[in-house]
């Protein structure tokens, strides 16, 4: 099995974000194998934690890159006065959350700029105009409202190749542990019969396209 370099792992874990180590390592493993066939795409790059795990897998396969889609304005729960607000990510001059500089700096620190293609926009708007580029891995970790989560799934899942992967973060079957929208998307995906369940690593649900 291909191993993640210790320095890259340490760097990824130091980056701001909500991805557990085991979840990041699972994304890395999938990216190593899947990116040999087609590019990967993530929704919700934030400061680049998941980006580093996935892009390092792309670098090792040396075939296809990662598209990193995020408007970098933070989700609803990350805004001023909300539970996940982080003052270090707030641009006081503009009065807005701005994670893009943190994201690009972390990608540079990991020496992965050649393997990451940032797309600074709302993912659902991008998906409407996405060209005929197929994806081997789709990682959904954007807004966690029902509208956002299902919008990301509906807009992007048609682009995943047969045998490709759909990974959804923050899967909680118990409402007391977290929001339910990502879990509802996973249930919906399985109900379509286009996807098969692979595994659940902490809160990361992994499905494969039939």
What residues are annotated to the active site? 144
- Measure the CA–CA gap between 41 and 141, rounded to whole angstroms: 11
Separation CA 181–CA 177 (nearest Å): 12
- Count Cβ atoms within 10 A of the Cβ of residue 94 and give its class: 0-12 exposed, 13-18 middle, 19 or more buried: exposed
Q: Give SS3 for 3.
A: coil
Q: What is the DSSP letter of 76?
A: G
The Cα 48–Cα 106 span in angstroms is 6
DSSP-H helix ranges across 35-171: 49-61, 100-109, 123-128, 146-156
């Amino acid at each position: 099995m291909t191993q993640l370099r210790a320095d890259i792992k340490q760097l990824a874990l130091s980056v701001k974000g909500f991805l557990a180590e085991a979840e990041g390592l699972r994304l890395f493993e999938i990216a190593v194998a899947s990116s040999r066939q087609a590019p990967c795409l993530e929704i919700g790059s934030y400061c680049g934690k998941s980006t580093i795990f996935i892009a390092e897998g792309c670098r090792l396969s040396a075939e296809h890159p990662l598209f990193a889609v995020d408007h970098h304005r933070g989700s609803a729960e990350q805004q001023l006065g909300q539970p996940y607000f982080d003052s270090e990510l707030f641009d006081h001059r503009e009065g807005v959350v701005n994670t893009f500089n943190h994201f690009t700096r972390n990608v540079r620190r990991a020496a992965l700029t050649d393997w990451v293609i940032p797309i600074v926009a709302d993912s659902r708007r991008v998906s409407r105009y996405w060209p005929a580029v197929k994806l081997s891995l789709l990682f959904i970790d954007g807004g966690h409202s029902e509208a956002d989560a299902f919008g990301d799934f509906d807009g992007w899942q048609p682009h995943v190749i047969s045998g490709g992967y759909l990974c959804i973060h923050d899967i909680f079957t118990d409402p007391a542990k977290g929001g339910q929208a990502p879990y509802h998307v996973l249930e919906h995906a399985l109900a379509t019969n286009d996807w098969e369940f692979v595994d659940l690593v902490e809160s990361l649900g992994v499905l494969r396209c039939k």
